A = this chain, B = another copy of it.
Amino acid sequence: MSLEYAQRFDGITGSAIRDIFKLLKRPDIISFAGGNPANSALESDVISEFVVRVLKQNGTAILQYGQTEGYTPFRESAAKFFEHNGVFATAEQVLPVTGSQQALDLICKVLLNPGDAMLVESPTFLGAIQTFKLFQAKLYAVDTDEDGAIPELLEEKIKKYHPKLIYLIPTFQNPTGRTLSLERRKAIAKLMEKYDDVVLIEDDPYRDLRYNGEPLPAIKSFDTTDRVVYCNSFSKIISPGMRVAAVVCTEPTLMRKLVIGKQFADVHTPNLNQAVMDAYLREGTLMEHIRIISESYGRQMAKMQEMLSTFPKSVSYTKPDGGIFLWCELPEAFNATDLFQNALERNVAYIPGTNFYCEPDTHHNTMRLNFSNATLENIEIGMGKLRDLFIEAGLK
């Protein structure tokens, strides 16, 4: 007899992207597929030093069970750090989590019943789509343009579908790299006042990687009714392998339930990992580290855009001010999902854009390119190969 699995897994395969990443282990591949920091951006010496120090100063407390609510010094330093985004919270309003993906899992666990409606940007982060599907949410896509999600369309869909949750990545969005304009941030915060049975997840892991222009305040900074849950991660600016992110939730009952959800999901985020992030924040060197990696990433983005400017004119692409991704659209007659196999044969990889849409098997003319984890030389070589492939495929 075979086992009967939970209904929430019906239609969940998790395979497309995972299979891509397995292919990418080949050392000869130039990959624009991941969402990784550059290896050179990972400060193993600094982290080693911080670990030695925190274990020496506070080894017993670090190695024992910690509070589900998080390691107090880190909650304090994270609260202070978020002020530069316009997010003013007390330490008690900060919940450290085991990567931002856990924030999504917990928020869904606390709020969603099967069949509940959710609004997401079109396109959006594929890991988020999968988590929402595991909670059996009905996903409705809200169209975006160069300035991000369109508030009028968002309101229309709020009225029509009565969603429990809205999920936005307003700054240097994954996958497009686009940023929600200041006016729209304010307009969306207003919508959250008007429709106060809806929670907005503001996922903001890329905001500190800005190469041009001035930072914009988080939507959370305009939140007057505690309906915005702000998620920030240290994966892109310190290390993804350490798995530390933090949620700011100013609605006390929601926070309490997130903590209970976390208690029965993983008890707490590893103390040592929280203490390392805390050391980065207290040391005061993080902003300088961000400045240094942003210089490199900015050059990598410029090189990728320079290469894209030599592509056939029918290929359009985004021109972000930061982040780690560019987004390309081919004419509708061309299929980036099929072309991916040809690209792999030439040892270049990207992610077919179809994976970033709620509606399966659509938008095959799109693709996501990551530039943070490729050298300038590999960007030149790899993008050159892609351009040649696209020209041979008949793009003009």
A interface residues, Cβ below 8 angstroms from B = 1-9, 12-14, 18, 34-37, 39, 42, 44-45, 47-48, 51-52, 55-56, 59-66, 68, 98-99, 101-102, 104-105, 109-113, 127, 130-131, 134, 164, 196-197, 199, 235, 239-243, 251, 253-254, 257, 259-261, 263-273
Contacts and interface: CB of A to CB of B under 8 A. Distances in A.
A269 B240 contact: no
A207 to B, nearest CB: 20
Contacts of A257: 5, 9
B111 A134 contact: no
Nearest to A111: B6
A254 B9 CA distance: 11
Nearest to A101: B267
Contact of A261 (B134, B242, B243): B134
A390 to B, nearest CB: 28
Contacts of A130: 263-264
Contacts of A240: 63-65, 267
Nearest to A66: B241
A4 B241 contact: no
A59 B46 CA distance: 11
B56 A111 contact: no
25 contacts: A5-B111, A6-B110, A9-B260, A12-B260, A18-B263, A39-B60, A39-B64, A42-B59, A44-B63, A48-B56, A48-B59, A62-B241, A63-B239, A63-B242, A65-B241, A99-B266, A105-B264, A105-B265, A105-B266, A134-B264, A241-B272, A243-B266, A272-B272, A272-B273, A273-B273
A264 B131 contact: yes
A167 to B, nearest CB: 14
Contacts of A68: 18
A42 B63 contact: yes
